[in-house]
Amino acid sequence: MLHIKSIPAFNDNYIWLIQNSDRRCAVVDPGDAAPVLEYLAHHELTLDAILITHHHHDHIGGVPELVRQFPSIDVVGPRNEPIPTLTHPVDDGDQLELFGEVFLVLGLSGHTAGHIGYVGDAKLFCGDVLFSAGCGRIMEGTPQQMFDALNKITALPQETEVYCAHEYTAANIAFALAVEPDNQHLQQYRDQVNRLRAQNKSTIPTNLRQEKFVNPFLRYTEPSVVKSVSNRTEQTDPLSVFTALRAWKNEF
């Protein structure tokens, strides 16, 4: 069993550290090397690998310094994105072994053209695709690609833990409540998140079972969601509802 720790970075990023039982570890999306190096030194850990989900600077900015400090580490990331430091480019469907656990690479285009995720040991590292109560902006892809990426994620086992890369939950809930003001699961989740954030605690990981009750971007077939976007689209098919939701969130 792998142990996951969060290393906060910048204003709201999470760098995820994956550790096995003998003080070896990997990190996911190290946008800044300094907090990673500090954590490794404090806990006397050895860095074996870096996993990258996409090319945005707040996810890869720390990679060159970490490679300089640990020249032999593996740097795994999406083949179809401009990341010069990769030693192991991967695509959808590829597998990698990490501390005895097999991780499957998921192609999750939408936020960026070549965005990927990693799922293994009932844990999903999904970068900026799925957030708690929200989803990433569509910056390089299309609504269809993001829609397909989210559907690929929701097909995973419902107890899968979701490790996204930002602490956006409170803001996402505010939007979700604008979409579904009478969603009792969402109201309860808002109160839980507010308590955690008041103590400066993380709201991540979430899990897929919970997200299906609170995340409007996974609830596009719910009558309450369809009704909420009816003034933005005359179409009621899932992709049109999802696209209208994402456009609404962009303005929110």
User: Binding site for Zn(2+): which residues?
Assistant: 54, 56, 58-59, 111, 128, 166
DSSP string computed for the chain: --EEEEEEETTTEEEEEEE-TTSEEEEE--S-HHHHHHHHHHHT-EEEEEE-S---HHHHTTHHHHHHHSTT-EEEEETTS--TT-SEEE-TT-EEEETTEEEEEEE-TTSSTT-EEEEETTEEEEETSEETTEE---SSS-HHHHHHHHHHHHTS-TT-EEEESB--HHHHHHHHHHH-TT-HHHHHHHHHHHHHHHTT-----EEHHHHHHH-GGG-TTSHHHHHHTTTT-S--SHHHHHHHHHHHHHH-
Residues comprising the binding site?
A: 54, 56, 58-59, 111, 128, 166
Nearest to 9 by CA among 20, 19, 26, 29: 29
What's the gap between Cα 77 and its chain centre? 15
Nearest to 88 by CA among 33, 51, 46: 51
Cα(206)–Cα(209) distance, integer angstroms? 9
- If you count them, how many residues does the chain have? 252
